[in-house]
A and B are shown apart, each in its own frame.
Chain A
């Protein structure tokens, strides 16, 4: 039900003007027309290689040299005091070069798959999928502390309030399903930026991520969606709609956005009918439950989230973030003083992620779903303050991508011989953002939104697409 005025607005001001944005229901699919240009008939800038994204967020920072970035030199030089450029020291004092004690990985590395990639004993199950992955060893990012780096990962900015990448993507290409939110964050943490990490900032509110569940709670639910509420009964809804129509008629001919109110109740009804089913796993087979680790206490929690991610993808949700984290200031993977604790976290995610990969592949979803695994930064190859943990390391770390448009079985970029700083084919977080958008058919330089007098982008004035990892 589009009012004529809305139509005028949407053509005159172009896509994304607040006026159009607000009046259509939040999760509707719309014809996508970019403000600047239409490159293809699909409304995308170029043909997409992936339709949707699953981002497996390892909050706190997984250590690359203990997982995917094997560095034999750490073993050889273990215990030696050497000079490193510590990121925290630099940010605080502007000094480079401080004595640090090299610390080898407590885990063994083995070779996996046809490609023979090295993966540590932390992730033996995930390792079975190395032939599908593109490992990016040369990641680097901004922010030494969790808050800034986490916000940077999500929004491309450490200190300013900017839209989350999921919001940008939803703003750019919308959703494939009318009845569901297009951008979902499963069990997000309230710390380190909390809602800002899935917020739409200055983009219209309907591009906001919808949280399902919360970090630290087992229940996976959407606010205000419940089977017993007033929206569950069609006859009750009809009653409200009848009253709304009476009032609308009484107002006569008005310049109003009130048709949209009636439509929003219909949409609410459709969501109420669809979403509970999605959150109900009873239709899944025993075998699938085992695949995701739902039968094991350690893996059950993250397994359920991964399984939900698959179900959301099947239903056409555009961007699903599956968080592994908690609400503390030192979240999950943040092992400053006790590196061995990495093993607990690895156990909790290894089977579920491996299961998700298997499941996506056998259902054919992996072909057009981009899977991204990684944290906000990595960890240092030396012992923090001489202890048994590792400090943050934004200068070099590993993430992996798999699925839609990704060259399988490759390793891209390098860190130095200690695994500390990215040195070859460096990929900045802005570059990764640009690449993810590119795979979805979006040119990161053209996806803009005017705010406070200028055009904003996810990648600010940076970002280069890493073409060499694209198939």
Chain B
């Protein structure tokens, strides 16, 4: 147990160490006698009397409510017996008898460590602390004997017994037998015996119209295109098996397949392109999204897919494309919804790792590893050691660069050698120009030195200038005008006295929101401080700059740039100069806020108004040249900014093992745990121990993606099954632990998993296997008997009703209106320069997964229709049927516009009869022609609507909107 003693506390300790010195002999004696035999304690011993009279009542009054075997044992610590505090709680023994001042009890009651303060509702009174001091310093004599033994949690499955749980057992190929296969399909062969024994009659095969809708939704995430339905030769005909298979193949070969499956995966890995707090835009996240689409479209081995996402940056590669692919995959680790402004950076880093670990555990392994952060898992065989063994692996890569608001890590993507050379030459050109510019600036500066007897009026200056006479002063400041250059009538200095008590606050009036270069002016001199403290308060928080006032300001001898800052409407915009920690005079003259856009202009115009009004021709041309150079540099920089980057993590030079964090606290560390894997998974032939100097992530990736790992492939196969069949074989998709559900058909899951591995972890193989089964093709209509016998459809004797998710509704509406842009290569949809995602208005007409997917500005209908919360790994979206959905479909302008666009086309058709028009509307929305009853309904609607409004556009729009709001649009049989 290490406990950080704050520096100030150390001072206290030093002082009291004298005291300790005086009493050392006594303490030594006391502990010696105690060690001899506690039972020998005499009730008349002064220390026992003291305990009974003072200590016991105090403990009862202030501690035992939360720390006794009779009530609660918070933090595992009981203070109701000597054995209790000797054994201690999660942080170790409460009292250190060898060095009482190091006792946790002492530290906690003294309230000097903000992370360890007891009692929690307020510090003990001084006399009470005195009692503790006396008690501890005299050897903590305690005659109380424990009455009850501390209980430990025994509900958990131990690591030793982990093989009792199905999911941790390897899939033994000899245990899984291929059932005799009367119907031709293995899945059906596995499912039908259980259905028969339950007395369930499997439902009929669904109609081809329904199957077409099902396949489109399941494999493409869309409603079938009306044109495609009509164009297809089998329209309204029964398919044979061969035609069905061909249809499936064509759907699998379409790029829409990768989009659909990528969207599923994006739910799981909490994909988004911004961060909730402050709305920061993750401008490179789209690369990862496209990586996912490519991976599913090319049917990449899922083993490879897992490996790349965990450790692509550490994998060897043969060429630039492969390296790019692998590096991009690691964005998975870094796109979580992080709280970048957390000020306790240690805490932030561990919370970040926890988020990664939770995601990896649930998505890839079906394990709730996060539960073991503060204590051993209450149910599963995952001890806290394992948590920190895994956490050490992730912690060995840097995911954040810290500042007030920390930054995520961007890594340059590799380029072909030609492009790489181009960027290199731009960089070197930039370096050249910079050198030239510096030379010119030096010359300019020296010439301005010669003209240092100038006074500049504020109105001559660009941007907003706050002079010292309109600033707010705290403390005693002397006005002066003895040393030029300065702005306005003079400047202030602090007399070089009252250090740490004086400040001047500059606050601009009517500052428009935006980014500004903020500059400070001061008149330099030898008696000035070399470290004036300047604080800038902007939208991004507070920045501190130290200014050396002994040297001339760099810009024309008048201005010193403090930096570029962003200011928000009604947000803070203040510059404070203080004389804190300074030696020498601190000077405060003026502060200038230069709009960023004006920089270039300002540089060009500088000669007109700036202090050096010496109108020498050569000086003028020097200035112009400098301005040109600066403009050129800016251009080069923006070209360099075009270099493709990707969100990732950076392996540390020295990987680290982590200490167990007691109760999850970053401030209470326990034993260091070597990096490693889950110990409940039996060791595999392919497992490689993680070397001292190895980062460990690649080893972890290989461990997860191994054919032998009993969890990864099973979890993935079950996931795909859920995507296609409506529910998992294991219904807790991301929890295969003991608190998850057992598989309804364990043999089927194992058989499919084995086959899946044998087929090279191929997703398309698995999809084919499932959709070709009769089980997939069954109608969702069934007898009430069947409904009664298997209400949850655990035996898959009927098809499930599918609902269009938020994306499918939006994409289908765009498709109906004729606006959907399928694109050929869709990169970033985020407008350049966009820095935050608030109030973003979505205009793109691409499929929903291209978004942009912003955490603060979701797409139309996304929230109402159960879109996945992009801040969590989501394995199963919720299925809600709520009034806001009805309101959205009825009242949303966006929906109305889509309907109206389509309706206008229908209304204006000269070739179609009204019946044909009605069919056309049905076909486009519910993917089938109208039934007789529906046609009658539509006709009466048209009649009523015509009487009401008269306009043909409106009439057909009414019909389309009703259809979009109807059950058959939103739910597929």
* B-binding residues in A (CB < 8 A): 4-5, 8, 18, 21-23, 25-27, 79, 81, 83, 85, 88, 90-92, 94-97, 99, 101, 138, 143-148, 151, 158-161, 190-196, 199, 201-202, 204-206, 223-226, 229-231, 235-237, 239-240, 242-244, 246-248, 250-258, 260-261, 263-265, 267-268, 271-272, 326-330, 334, 336-338, 383, 385-388, 413, 422-428, 452-454, 464
| Known contacts A330-B572, A386-B578: A261-B890 contact under CB 8 Å | no
- Can you sample 28 A-B contacts with CB below 8 Å? A25-B883, A94-B6, A95-B7, A96-B8, A147-B341, A161-B871, A191-B838, A201-B869, A224-B864, A229-B887, A239-B944, A243-B962, A246-B937, A247-B934, A247-B966, A256-B971, A265-B965, A268-B884, A328-B570, A336-B572, A383-B474, A385-B578, A386-B501, A422-B122, A424-B122, A425-B122, A452-B368, A452-B735
A190 to B837, CA, bound (A): 10
Question: Are B793 and A161 in contact, CB atoms less than 8 angstroms apart?
Answer: no
| Known contacts A193-B276, A244-B966, A424-B122: A265-B791 contact under CB 8 Å | no
In the assembled complex, which residues on chain A have CB atoms less than 8 Å from the CB atom of B866?
Answer: 205
Question: Are A190 and B856 in contact, CB atoms less than 8 angstroms apart?
Answer: yes
Question: Are B339 and A148 in contact, CB atoms less than 8 angstroms apart?
Answer: yes
Interface window among B26-34, B342-350, B589-597, B822-830: B342-350
Question: Are B505 and A387 in contact, CB atoms less than 8 angstroms apart?
Answer: yes
| Known contacts A95-B7, A428-B120: A387-B503 contact under CB 8 Å | yes
Instruction: Give 18 new A-B contacts, CB below 8 A, not counting A22-B878, A26-B882.
Output: A85-B114, A159-B348, A205-B880, A224-B888, A231-B887, A231-B890, A240-B966, A242-B937, A243-B963, A255-B801, A256-B971, A257-B881, A258-B967, A263-B881, A329-B539, A330-B571, A385-B542, A386-B502
| Known contacts A257-B881, A388-B472: A226-B965 contact under CB 8 Å | no
In the assembled complex, which residues on chain B have CB atoms less than 8 Å from the CB atom of A101?
Answer: 500-501
B323 within 8 Å of A (CB atoms): no
Question: Are A247 and B961 in contact, CB atoms less than 8 angstroms apart?
Answer: no
Query: Which of A88, A145, A199 has the largest number of chain B CB atoms within 10 A?
Result: A145
B166 within 8 Å of A (CB atoms): no
| Known contacts A148-B341, A254-B782: A190-B839 contact under CB 8 Å | yes
**SS class of chain A's interface: helix, strand, loop or mixed?**
mixed
In the assembled complex, which residues on chain B have CB atoms less than 8 Å from the CB atom of A452?
Answer: 358, 362, 368, 370-371, 734-735
**SS class of chain B's interface: helix, strand, loop or mixed?**
loop
Question: Are B343 and A161 in contact, CB atoms less than 8 angstroms apart?
Answer: no
Question: Are B348 and A251 in contact, CB atoms less than 8 angstroms apart?
Answer: no
Question: Are A253 and B122 in contact, CB atoms less than 8 angstroms apart?
Answer: no
Chain B contacts with A in 510-551, Cβ cutoff 8 A: 535, 537, 539-542
In the assembled complex, which residues on chain B have CB atoms less than 8 Å from the CB atom of A229?
Answer: 887, 890-891
A257 to B791, CA, bound (A): 12
Distance in Å: Cβ of B369 to nearest Cβ of chain A = 9
Residue of B nearest to A242 (CB): B937
Pick the contact of B122: A26, A199, A271, A423 (CB < 8 A): A423
Chain B contacts with A in 297-336, Cβ cutoff 8 A: none
B146 within 8 Å of A (CB atoms): no
In the assembled complex, which residues on chain B have CB atoms less than 8 Å from the CB atom of A224?
Answer: 864, 884, 887-888, 890-892
6 interchain residue pairs of minimum CB distance: A229-B891, A453-B368, A26-B882, A91-B343, A268-B886, A267-B883
* A-binding residues in B (CB < 8 A): 4, 6-9, 112, 114, 120-123, 276-279, 337-339, 341-345, 347-348, 351, 355, 358, 362, 368, 370-371, 378-380, 472, 474-475, 500-503, 505, 507, 535, 537, 539-542, 568-572, 574, 576, 578, 580, 734-735, 737, 739-740, 780-784, 787, 791-793, 798, 800-801, 838-839, 856, 864, 866, 869, 871-872, 878-888, 890-892, 931, 933-934, 937, 941, 944, 958, 961-963, 965-968, 970-971, 973
Number of A-B residue pairs, CB cutoff 8 Å, is: 315
Question: Are B379 and A264 in contact, CB atoms less than 8 angstroms apart?
Answer: no
A236 to B965, CA, bound (A): 12
A226 to B571, CA, bound (A): 33
A249 to B512, CA, bound (A): 61
In the assembled complex, which residues on chain A have CB atoms less than 8 Å from the CB atom of B342?
Answer: 143, 145, 147-148, 158-159
Pick the contact of B879: A26, A88, A199, A257 (CB < 8 A): A257
A52 to B737, CA, bound (A): 39
A8 to B931, CA, bound (A): 35
In the assembled complex, which residues on chain B have CB atoms less than 8 Å from the CB atom of A202?
Answer: 872
A258 to B881, CA, bound (A): 9
A425 to B62, CA, bound (A): 12
Distance in Å: Cβ of A160 to nearest Cβ of chain B = 7
In the assembled complex, which residues on chain A have CB atoms less than 8 Å from the CB atom of B884?
Answer: 26, 223-224, 268
In the assembled complex, which residues on chain A have CB atoms less than 8 Å from the CB atom of B279?
Answer: 190-191, 194
Question: Are A192 and B371 in contact, CB atoms less than 8 angstroms apart?
Answer: no
Residue of A nearest to B380 (CB): A453
Pick the contact of A144: B343, B537, B783 (CB < 8 A): B343
In the assembled complex, which residues on chain A have CB atoms less than 8 Å from the CB atom of B934?
Answer: 243, 246-247
Distance in Å: Cβ of A19 to nearest Cβ of chain B = 9
In the assembled complex, which residues on chain A have CB atoms less than 8 Å from the CB atom of B735?
Answer: 452-453
A75 to B503, CA, bound (A): 20
| Known contacts A385-B576, A453-B735: A204-B474 contact under CB 8 Å | no
A423 to B126, CA, bound (A): 13
Residue of B nearest to A395 (CB): B114
| Known contacts A231-B887, A255-B780, A452-B368: A96-B791 contact under CB 8 Å | no
Question: Are A240 and B962 in contact, CB atoms less than 8 angstroms apart?
Answer: yes
Question: Are B887 and A328 in contact, CB atoms less than 8 angstroms apart?
Answer: no
| Known contacts A159-B348, A256-B801, A387-B474: A329-B887 contact under CB 8 Å | no
A384 to B66, CA, bound (A): 38
Question: Are B121 and A426 in contact, CB atoms less than 8 angstroms apart?
Answer: yes
Question: Are A195 and B933 in contact, CB atoms less than 8 angstroms apart?
Answer: no
A148 to B838, CA, bound (A): 18
In the assembled complex, which residues on chain B have CB atoms less than 8 Å from the CB atom of A147?
Answer: 277-278, 339, 341-342
Question: Are A253 and B784 in contact, CB atoms less than 8 angstroms apart?
Answer: yes
Distance in Å: Cβ of A363 to nearest Cβ of chain B = 28
In the assembled complex, which residues on chain B have CB atoms less than 8 Å from the CB atom of A267?
Answer: 882-883, 886
Question: Are A387 and B574 in contact, CB atoms less than 8 angstroms apart?
Answer: yes
In the assembled complex, which residues on chain A have CB atoms less than 8 Å from the CB atom of B121?
Answer: 138, 424-427, 464
In the assembled complex, which residues on chain B have CB atoms less than 8 Å from the CB atom of A334?
Answer: 572
Residue of B nearest to A205 (CB): B880
Residue of B nearest to A145 (CB): B341
A271 to B277, CA, bound (A): 32
| Known contacts A264-B883, A385-B535: A97-B8 contact under CB 8 Å | yes
| Known contacts A94-B6, A201-B872, A253-B781: A453-B339 contact under CB 8 Å | no
Question: Are A261 and B791 in contact, CB atoms less than 8 angstroms apart?
Answer: no
Pick the contact of B571: A23, A90, A254, A328 (CB < 8 A): A328
A243 to B791, CA, bound (A): 27
Question: Are A239 and B6 in contact, CB atoms less than 8 angstroms apart?
Answer: no
A146 to B542, CA, bound (A): 13
In the assembled complex, which residues on chain B have CB atoms less than 8 Å from the CB atom of A193?
Answer: 276-277
A268 to B892, CA, bound (A): 13
| Known contacts A336-B572, A423-B122, A452-B370: A158-B112 contact under CB 8 Å | no
Distance in Å: Cβ of A291 to nearest Cβ of chain B = 28
In the assembled complex, which residues on chain B have CB atoms less than 8 Å from the CB atom of A145?
Answer: 341-343
A161 to B971, CA, bound (A): 31
Distance in Å: Cβ of B501 to nearest Cβ of chain A = 6
Distance in Å: Cβ of B803 to nearest Cβ of chain A = 8
Question: Are A251 and B368 in contact, CB atoms less than 8 angstroms apart?
Answer: no
Distance in Å: Cβ of A26 to nearest Cβ of chain B = 4
Residue of B nearest to A452 (CB): B368
Question: Are B7 and A190 in contact, CB atoms less than 8 angstroms apart?
Answer: no
A263 to B970, CA, bound (A): 15
Question: Are B882 and A264 in contact, CB atoms less than 8 angstroms apart?
Answer: yes
A23 to B801, CA, bound (A): 14
A196 to B869, CA, bound (A): 10
In the assembled complex, which residues on chain B have CB atoms less than 8 Å from the CB atom of A426?
Answer: 120-122
Question: Are A330 and B539 in contact, CB atoms less than 8 angstroms apart?
Answer: yes
A205 to B734, CA, bound (A): 20
Residue of A nearest to B963 (CB): A243
